[in-house]
Amino acid sequence: MSDLLPLAPGALLFAAAVNSLVFVEGSGVLVVDTGLDDSHARKLLRALEAQRLTPTAILNTHSHADHHGGNATFLKRFPGLPIFAPPFEAAIIQHPLLEPLYLYGAHPPQVLRTKFLLAPASPAQAVAAGRVTLGSVAVELIDVPGHASQMYAVRFGDVLYAADALFGEEPLAKHPLTFCVDSTSMKASAAGLLDVPGVRLTVPGHGNPTENLTGLVATNLAAFGAVTEAVLTAVQDASTVDTALKRVCDALGVQMTTPSAALLNRSVISAHLAELADLGAVVLDVQDNELRFRAV
Ligand SMILES: [Zn+2]
């Protein structure tokens, strides 16, 4: 864990397993993503206090538990602190059971209701993309859907927080099956970040800041494409999602050890299968009471 690292005037990074960003303008202090849990949030609050910074608003870039799990700790310290999120994601942050519910497809068993998939509820308000002022801090919110149903990257001056639209090189190498609910959008969102003008420094949601946005986008797009290829190969023989998941994990050297990892990766496979189906490269049909996917 670290303190707040200055990236640019008014832009601070709290580097952790999940990064938090702090953007300061006058008396405005916008905290972007609050981490997985109470522990992350308490360390972040201590770092803010050490610099005499009082948060004026929170932005959650998307609804995954590791990006808003610390909200409750902030609200305990600063009751009424406004929390903003993309509209679809705000609904999940207010009703966080939706995350394990959509991953599992039914009310999830206890083993899937851990802090990694189920954060405490918090009163997030919807904010539209574009140039906005949140807690007296002017930022640009950029739509980057795909990793989640909606997600915002955030530009503050020449700093771009890509949220989970881009992963750092290390986490990407460690987790080749990048989570997504829509792989088509995920690829378009990553490529679209190259069009954001005036970016000097890019910070991924997980990983280190870089001045090489072009290189990071290329690495991410190559990784996403490799998964699509592996999924297509996995359904050369018609298979269920779960069989395709096993084949892709074997091919990419992924070893799953928890039910939540299996469920998250299963969504990734489903997303790439949907992309391939919409491209006409894969068909779905039901045989012997199995929903099967098959390359054509
Ligand atoms: Zn995420």
What number of residues does the chain have?
296
CA distances (Å), 216 to each of 20, 126, 225, 255, in order?
Answer: 19, 29, 14, 25
CA distances (Å), 256 to each of 106, 109, 122, 253, in order?
Answer: 22, 18, 31, 10
- Distance from the CA of 18 to the center of ligand 1, in angstroms? 9
Q: Are residues 222 and 243 in the same domain?
A: no
* Residue 149 DSSP class: S
Residue 218, domain extent: 4-226
- The pLDDT value given to residue 243: 98
**Count of CB atoms within 10 A of residue 280's CB?**
8
- Distance from the CA of 180 to the center of ligand 1, in angstroms? 8
Q: Are residues 173 and 253 in the same domain?
A: no
pLDDT (tens digit per residue) in 199-238: 999 999 999 999 999 999 999 999 999 999 999 999 999 9
Q: What is the mean pLDDT of residues 281-291?
A: 97
- Distance from the CA of 148 to the center of ligand 1, in angstroms? 7
What's 136's domain CATH number? 3.60.15.10
Q: Are residues 221 and 147 in the same domain?
A: yes
Which residue, of 201, 226, 251, is where some domain finishes? Answer: 226
Q: How many domains does the chain have?
A: 2
- The pLDDT value given to residue 268: 98
pLDDT (tens digit per residue) in 94-152: 999 999 999 999 999 999 999 999 999 999 999 999 999 999 999 999 999 999 999 99
197: pLDDT strictly greater than 70: yes
Q: Are residues 141 and 209 in the same domain?
A: yes
Band (2; pLDDT cuts 50, 70, 90)? low
1: pLDDT strictly greater than 50: no
3-state helix/strand/coil string of 18-87: CCEEEEEECCEEEEECCCCCHHHHHHHHHHHHHCCCCCCEEECCCCCHHHHCCHHHHHHHCCCCCEEECH
Check: CB of residue 183 under 8 Å from CB of residue 277.
no
Q: Are residues 134 and 78 in the same domain?
A: yes
- The pLDDT value given to residue 32: 98
- The pLDDT value given to residue 61: 98
Amino acid at 104: Y
- Distance from the CA of 108 to the center of ligand 1, in angstroms? 19
- Distance from the CA of 147 to the center of ligand 1, in angstroms? 6
Q: What is the mean pLDDT of residues 245-260?
A: 96
Which residue, of 226, 249, 273, is where some domain finishes? Answer: 226
Q: Are residues 51 and 74 in the same domain?
A: yes
Q: Are residues 155 and 174 in the same domain?
A: yes
- CB neighbour list of residue 58: distance below 8 Å, 6 or more residues apart: 30, 31, 32, 34, 71, 74, 81, 82, 83, 84, 135
Q: Are residues 176 and 58 in the same domain?
A: yes
Rounded to whole angstroms, the Cα distance separating 127 from 82 reads 11
- Distance from the CA of 64 to the center of ligand 1, in angstroms? 5
Q: Are residues 122 and 238 in the same domain?
A: no
pLDDT (tens digit per residue) in 179-192: 999 999 999 999 99
Amino acid at 221: L
Round the average pLDDT of the chain to a whole number and report it. 97
- Distance from the CA of 26 to the center of ligand 1, in angstroms? 30
Q: Are residues 189 and 275 in the same domain?
A: no
Q: Are residues 216 and 256 in the same domain?
A: no
Q: Are residues 132 and 163 in the same domain?
A: yes
- CB neighbour list of residue 39: distance below 8 Å, 6 or more residues apart: none
